[in-house]
Amino acid sequence: MQTITFSKLEALGNDFVLIDTTNQVDINLTVEQIKQICDRHYGIGCDQLLIIKQINRNQIPCFSYKIYNIDGSQALHCGNGARAVICYIKHKYRFESKYIELVLANNHVITGQITTNELIKIDMGAVKFTPQSLPAILTQSTTNNYTIKYQSQIINYGIASVGNPHVIIKLANNLFNDDNYIIEVGRTIQSKIDIFPEGVNVNFIYIQNPYTIMLKTYERGSGLTKACGSGATASASYCYHYQQCNNNIQVIMQGGSLQVTIENNNCQLIGNANIVFNGNIIL
């Protein structure tokens, strides 16, 4: 058995357990141990487990950043998790540098900072809209419009990759407010491994106006969550490129709102995050 120090973090109600192995022994958790940590009844409880460690890369403070879902699978990106990690690093290490870098498991680098009004801003990079980038077994559509059958209904959707795969479905207000419908459609699309062999996050949007969208995300490996940073980025960029929305979009989710700014297809994600408490767990 071993004692592991952790921090509980949250970003718009999207909650995380963070294990910083910079000053403690490296850990190799089993899938069952990850599930236990994430379990809200038998463990600490969270939407995702995050593991970081400071590494030497360049003059900017840099940390490796690994993400695990509640089912024990590894995720390749989490925008809210990245913002929460930047918040933790800034308060824990007090670096003089304005910027912090996070290196994901696929070697993608996220650069983040805390703004003058204490919001966390991260560079999510360029969003891609090709089937190959997800990956998805689809013939590319020039209008990013695909269809899938749900019961007797044909659903139109778009695709996007922010380092992890996303489907975006535009809904009318009545369906957007029906969580049972969203969960069932989300499960149905995630089950289509013939189309999405590595799974997919399913985003449901309601466009209020060109500057504001509402979002619910049925996340791969986690289900319906209060907020999703990469889902907000993918959805806002999709709305800008394919739904005549502005390049500065407020994304409203159950846990709160994020601002997504798009310049030359490069996305900046801005919002708050907090350290909730610190503790130890014996595994």
Neighbours of 152 (CB within 10 A): 5
Q: Do 84 and 49 form a contact (C-beta atoms < 8 A)? A: no
Rounded CA separation 206/184 (Å): 18
Rounded CA separation 136/56 (Å): 35
Specify whether 62 is catalytic.
no
End-to-end CA distance of the chain: 5
Amino acid in position 203: N
Catalytic residue among 38, 78, 87, 245: 78
Rounded CA separation 184/199 (Å): 15
Specify whether 228 is catalytic.
yes
> Reduced to 3 DSSP states, what percent helix, strand and coil does the chain have, rounded to the nearest 5?
20, 45, 35
Catalytic residue among 228, 239, 245, 267: 228
Reference 125, options 109, 105, 106; nearest CA is 109
Give the contacts of 32 (CB within 8 A, at least 6 positions apart).
72
Amino acid in position 52: I
Sign of the Cα torsion 82, 129, 71, 148 reads: positive
If phi > 0 it is left, if psi is from -120 to 50 it is alpha, else beta; for residue 102 that is: beta
| Catalytic residue set | 78, 228
